Amino acid sequence: MLGTAAGGGVPQWNCACGLCVAVRQGRLPARTQDALAVSADGAQWWLVNASPDIGVQLAATPGLAPGPGPRDTPVRGVLFTDAELDHTLGLAVLRGAAGLQVHAPAAVLHALAPTRAVLATYGEWSWRRVEPEQPVVLAGGLEVTAFPVSGKRPRYAADCPVAGHWVVAYRFRDPATGGVLLYAPCLASWPAGFDVLVAEADVVLLDGTFHAPTEMGTATGRPSGQAAMGHLPIAHSLPELRRHPSTRRIYTHLNNTNPVLDPASPEHAEITGAGVEVVADGTVIEV
């Protein structure tokens, strides 16, 4: 888990809320923006989302270090769950790598057209459309399947003429071990059939952006527009997760306003009491 925070990380550069202050004072750990690195063989790695923090995250992860040649990298490409800036701006950081593959839903590829044009001036990449519920085997042997979970498009693409699936969850399966990981950092609701995906997974990394439906307004003291941001609050998803005690369940994509960031909070105690985890950046999960 390269990063576990929502957009802006924790602390956010322009925020003096209690949790951001606690991080700056060293009382809570800092978190970079949500991203994942996955591999079946430990040699060929795939990034899932690429925030502006991706350079720092790669440098902090020994398994993703370059080599053995001076410009070799174990990173083979990127898969996008959506087109939000917080998940895609890191592509510019990766511009020096030749031959990367980018997998994303059709709507996301369309929204990224200007970015693709810029990156094409630096080197040739492969851009591949993700088809819903159609398994793809990535380099290294990992099998990945996308499942549409939301039609929420980013603000900059509000007038985009492309309809369809803007947000997907990914199920990763290692054919060698049979292990399954489900990654859904952006979940506007609990979709029909999602229980089946959770039940089939060994590990679920789930959208934990907000704890309460009115959290941002309470934290900032002004109307937040939180409901339009497309993130199911923990208060609504935790009852769903309670039905799956045999699956390891972890909240990620945590906003700087979310009280579960503080291990001493009652909200943190509530989720851990239900057997659900909040983990640090850099956590390694084997399935």
Set out the domains of the chain in order of their start, with CATH numbers: 18-278 (3.60.15.10)
Average pLDDT for the chain: 94
pLDDT tens digits for range 194-247: 999 999 999 999 999 999 988 876 766 666 666 667 799 999 999 999 999 999
How far is C-alpha 170 from the geometric centre of its chain's CA atoms?
Answer: 10
pLDDT of residue 15 exceeding 80: yes
DSSP 206: E
DSSP 154: P
Look up residue 237 and give its two tokens. Answer: 């998803």
| Mean pLDDT value of segment 97-102 | 94
Residues 6+ apart with CB under 8 A from 34: 3, 4, 5, 6, 49, 51, 86, 87, 185, 252, 253
HEC assignment per residue over 60-74: CCHHHCCCCCCCCCC
Peptide bond preceding 223 in cis form (omega within 30 of 0): no
Burial-class residue 279 by CB neighbours within 10 Å (0-12, 13-18, 19+). middle
How far is C-alpha 162 from the geometric centre of its chain's CA atoms?
Answer: 23
CB 216 within 8 A of CB 8: no
pLDDT tens digits for range 20-50: 999 999 999 999 999 999 999 999 999 999 9
**What is the phi/psi pair of residue 276, to 5°?**
-105, 145
| Residues 1, 13: Cα–Cα separation, whole Å | 22
At CA 12, angle to CA 6 and CA 17, rounded to 5?
105
| Residues 63, 250: Cα–Cα separation, whole Å | 22
pLDDT of residue 111 exceeding 80: yes
First to last CA, the chain: 13
pLDDT tens digits for range 118-174: 999 999 999 999 999 999 999 999 999 999 999 999 999 988 888 778 999 999 999
Which of 98, 9, 19, 16 is closest to 56 using CA atoms?
9
Beta partners for residue 171, in sequence order: 145, 182
State pTM to two decimals.
0.95
Total residue count of the chain as it appears in this document: 287
